[in-house]
Structure 1
């Protein structure tokens, strides 16, 4: 198995090598697969993300969420705790500004943001994943710190963390750390297999 940094570099290169039309087609396929699933259909507060660095695009699913009357949120780096995420309401056309990593975030006041515990479903970006729901992110640890409460799953039944990835991002036996928060499943262009924990 490659080191986490080697694997991260390899998968990011592979993602970026896709054409815009390939990304769009694969993202639409993923949305069609997951848009019918009960986790998506029953969720009222859905967090997505704006794709960056060749990531699978969740905006088709976000569009479906809006059409179904769901509330959609995007992650925002917390000004109170710079190593955690808060979630801001988002709709098409809302004002955005880039955070310190160059990723667009909604421009809203703190009082309109919600805590991760208030979400029903979180569409999670990733670089690689395995069949047990282990996720390799970009290396900042923001999602793991923000959703650390889910490691004590007996007390928290939501939100459900669902990774968004291309099928080629799946690897066997991803190395993981005790603080990593596993996913409930990963949506790819071919379906939504739940994880085996």
Structure 2
């Protein structure tokens, strides 16, 4: 799957980012959200940069993940803020910006390697999102809402899951929004 998304041309990547931002903008939960966490695309991930632009136009606060030991905090990222690189070479906001725990956010846009229509995701293998969102296993209807962002080519029929895997509420691709909340009922 990682190879599939890396093999997408820059034109395909741009078209996918535009399509995904249009799909996400249709969601009422996105329209109502104030504090949204995104990510800096890496390794062929679908870029949320157009989503960030849209969110800023709508006066939403943006937060980005920051490694904190084996979990993630989400740091405020004002326009033109400075960036550093974490130990994996992924950009993250500098320490001078306010950090929030996941529970304080309305939406977290989650990167992934593969997904299925039940809201299961395969991440990069570090477990950072699953550990940081473990509280969602006990209180799945509490915020934040978890929205996976992916290229449609990353879909797989069924993913095997472990008991520590945290499912998504929605998945957004360049083609559609998939409501996964039915898995929680």
TM normalised by structure 1 equals: 0.89
Separation of aligned partners in 1, 2:9 and 2:99: 34
**1:107 Cα deviation from its structure 2 partner:** 0.5
- In structure 1, the partner of 2:122 is 136
**1:172 Cα deviation from its structure 2 partner:** 1.1
Separation of aligned partners in 1, 2:26 and 2:34: 14
TM normalised by structure 2 equals: 0.95
Residues 1:93 and 2:75 aligned together: no
**1:50 Cα deviation from its structure 2 partner:** 0.6
Kindly report which structure 2 residues correspond to 1:1-197, keeping only aligned pairs within 5 A, or say none.
11-78=1-68, 82-109=69-96, 112-153=98-139, 157-195=142-180, 196-197=182-183
Deviations 1:28-66 (A, max 9, x none): 011001112111101100000010000001111111111
- In structure 2, the partner of 1:8 is none
Deviations 1:50-100 (A, max 9, x none): 10000001111111111001000000001xxx1000011113421111100
Q: Which runs of 4+ in 1 moved over 6 A?
A: none
Separation of aligned partners in 2, 1:33 and 1:76: 26
The secondary structure found in structure 2 opposite 1:122 is strand
CA RMSD of aligned residues (A): 1.2
The secondary structure found in structure 1 opposite 2:179 is coil
**1:21 Cα deviation from its structure 2 partner:** 1.4
Separation of aligned partners in 2, 1:119 and 1:92: 18
Separation of aligned partners in 2, 1:43 and 1:158: 11
**1:108 Cα deviation from its structure 2 partner:** 2.4
Q: Taking structure 1 as reference, are residues 61 and 100 closer, same or farther at Cα in structure 2, changes over 3 Å only?
A: same
